Amino acid sequence: MWSARSPGVGCVGAEPPPVSRGQRGRELQRAGGPVVLIDARNISRRCPRCGHTAKANRPTRDHFAGVGCGLAGPADQAAAVNVRDRARTTWAFVNTPVVADTPQPTADTSDKPRTSIRSS
């Protein structure tokens, strides 16, 4: 595992330092891909099945055990599902058209033929 204090820094075969989110985002934008920023608070403590968020859901660093519904498994997998769900929600919210920006037809542009009402 690479860390700032590891003696292998700069040596051949040493793992590269982690890439920051900002750098990944810039690389993705340069390639033409969309970048969705999400709120990462409690992302690894939230149960992807029932939505219950608690510190007790993460008994160890590598294990997830949902207190609310009993879902258990690798913590990284549970967090990845939460990231995916938040990104989908954010993507849908950002790309929803605003009704006020939608052009509205005026009274003169109706496709229906005009009918005149004559009083006798």
Note the pLDDT of residue 44. Answer: 92
> Does residue 85 lie in a domain region?
yes
pTM equals: 0.57
Instruction: Count how many domains the chain has.
Output: 1
Note the pLDDT of residue 19. Answer: 46
**Cα separation, 53 vs 57, whole angstroms:** 7
> Does residue 106 lie in a domain region?
no
Mean pLDDT, all residues of the chain: 75
Per residue in 13-32, pLDDT tens? Answer: 444 444 455 777 778 778 87
Domain that holds residue 45: 41-95
> Does residue 62 lie in a domain region?
yes
> Does residue 3 lie in a domain region?
no
> Does residue 66 lie in a domain region?
yes
Q: Which residues pair with 73 in a beta bridge?
A: 64
Per residue in 56-84, pLDDT tens? Answer: 999 999 999 999 999 999 999 999 999 99
**Cα separation, 57 vs 75, whole angstroms:** 9
> Does residue 75 lie in a domain region?
yes
> Does residue 13 lie in a domain region?
no
> Does residue 58 lie in a domain region?
yes
Q: Taking the C-alpha atoms of 18, 21, 24 and 30 in order, what is their torsion angle to the nearest 10 degrees?
A: -150
Note the pLDDT of residue 40. Answer: 86
Note the pLDDT of residue 2. Answer: 36
